[in-house]
Chain A
Amino acid sequence: MTIQLRIPRLLCEHMRADLVRPHCFATERVGFARVMTGTIDDGSVVLLTSYWPVPDDLYVDDPDVGARINGEAIRNTMQDILNGGGRYGLLHVHMHLRKGHTGMSRTDLTEIPKLVQSFRNVGVKAAHGLLILTPDHAFSMALLPGMEALHQVNKIIVVGYPMEILK
């Protein structure tokens, strides 16, 4: 089973720029990307179509984690999925600042899969997941319709001038 993620370059750069903006107390930022899916040979492709950041006032001041978003922010994600009527799903997006390959931190592993499952509960026909960007790389996991658990995305392609293939 192959899963690819394709991100338009302008969106990728926008997300990276947004996620490094300073916040008054959070050391990381969070955003959400809408994704649609396609069937490919032996798998699926997840296509990132837009991004919205969590507004500054919807973070919770928690010194134990890089970023924690409040209940209203989470309700906004659910509402976004419902508004889409199943046409798109959401990826939780944040950034690790060190260059190179990355993966899920302990906090990421604890918190994000639960949120993705909540996305699945309101949008069962769409793909949901997470995307972690670094300045020059990315890591993603996807929960596709019909899947029981998050699967790592095999290939991430930034589509634009220039292209980037991140495996």
Chain B
Amino acid sequence: MSERTSRQSFLGPNSDQIIQTATVGVVGLGGGGSHIVQQLAHIGFQNYVIYDHEVIEDSNLNRLIGGTVVDVEKKQQKIQIAIRVIKGLQLAANIKAVPARWQDDPLPLRTCDIVFGCVDGFAERRELEITTRRYLIPLIDIGMDVQPSVEGQPPRIGGQVILSMPGDLCMTCLGFLNEKTLAKEAARYGAVGNKPQVVWPNGVLASTAVGIAVDLLTDWTRSLRRSVYLSYDGNSHMMQPHIRLQFLNGETCTHFPLGNVGDPVFKAL
């Protein structure tokens, strides 16, 4: 164990090697993903596959970790900011940086051991989960939203952290993805607008996601043994298991059978 990681020796005697060997994917390097890459780099991850096709704008500076005023002036790609953050902590990091939508260059994503999904929208989440399930990769999804003020009540910040583990409950099983929310989102297409976003809920969600990933890899708590679906209430500042989990004990996922993995096969009819 090196001096740099000596304070995280509680993660286990082999934790350094485990962390250095793992390949982590981060899809989306905005408010959530930028926190995640920073923390992964601090912890010591060496192998990254990162995706984002956007450039930073002034409105991102309230939450994009590592982004600067100069980046905005230069119209810097978010992916370059993430590379800078990672390399600032891990000089030898091996980074496969894809300045595109992952759907347009999916092969690198399939090399990951764990993928963090920091994307916008339910349809995007569905697509990412389908791919990670196909290639047997655990997906940790984070997201937040701000519901507008209603009848004089304050706005409400909400969010989620979901671990979608191949073989275990998926986001549809957990009720997070469903026809109703997907239909509502599809109906809004073309009128998306700029969603409210702030840095601290993203930080809470991202930190939790990173903690889950480290636990999955090192098993330091020896207690992570089932799906994770955490619900964040930004008004009461609390993160707790989603109530739906109580009703899913013993349930198994029927949406992604193990016999349907790998490159898709179209069966002639």
Q: Is the interface of A mostly helix, strand, loop or mixed?
A: strand
Complex-state Cα separation, A159 to B115, whole angstroms: 13
Residues B225 and A161 in contact, CB atoms below 8 Å apart: yes
Residues A161 and B134 in contact, CB atoms below 8 Å apart: no
Q: Name the residue in B21, B113, B261 with the highest tally of chain A Cβ atoms < 10 Å from its Cβ.
A: B261
Which of B134, B137, B166, B258 contacts A50 (CB under 8 A)? B258
Residues B217 and A160 in contact, CB atoms below 8 Å apart: no
Q: Least Cβ distance of A159 to chain B in Å?
A: 5
Residue of A nearest to B226 (CB): A161
Residues A161 and B96 in contact, CB atoms below 8 Å apart: no
Q: Least Cβ distance of B244 to chain A in Å?
A: 19
> Quick check: is B167 within 8 A (CB to CB) of the other chain?
yes
> Quick check: is A41 within 8 A (CB to CB) of the other chain?
yes
Complex-state Cα separation, A39 to B216, whole angstroms: 25
Contact with A along B137-164 (1 / 0, CB 8 A): 1100000000000000000000000000
Would you list 14 pairs from A and B whose C-beta atoms are within 8 A, ordered by A residue?
Answer: A8-B167, A8-B258, A36-B262, A38-B134, A38-B262, A39-B107, A39-B263, A41-B108, A45-B136, A88-B259, A159-B167, A160-B165, A161-B216, A161-B224
Residues B261 and A36 in contact, CB atoms below 8 Å apart: yes
> Quick check: is B135 within 8 A (CB to CB) of the other chain?
yes
Residues of B at the A interface (CB closer than 8 Å) are: 18, 21-22, 96, 107-108, 110-111, 113-114, 134-138, 165-167, 215-219, 224-226, 258-259, 261-263, 265
Chain A residues near B265 (CB-CB < 8 A): 87
> Quick check: is A6 within 8 A (CB to CB) of the other chain?
yes
Complex-state Cα separation, A97 to B21, whole angstroms: 25
Residues of A at the B interface (CB closer than 8 Å) are: 2, 4, 6, 8-10, 36-42, 45, 47, 49-50, 87-88, 157, 159-163, 165, 167
Other CB < 8 Å A-B pairs besides A45-B110, A49-B261, A162-B215, 11 of them?
A38-B263, A39-B107, A40-B110, A41-B107, A47-B262, A157-B113, A157-B136, A160-B165, A165-B21, A165-B113, A167-B21
Chain A residues near B219 (CB-CB < 8 A): 162
Chain A residues near B224 (CB-CB < 8 A): 161-162
Chain A residues near B215 (CB-CB < 8 A): 162
Chain B residues near A162 (CB-CB < 8 A): 215-219, 224
Residues A40 and B135 in contact, CB atoms below 8 Å apart: yes
Which of A42, A87, A88, A159 contacts B136 (CB under 8 A)? A159
Residues A165 and B136 in contact, CB atoms below 8 Å apart: no
Chain A residues near B137 (CB-CB < 8 A): 6, 159
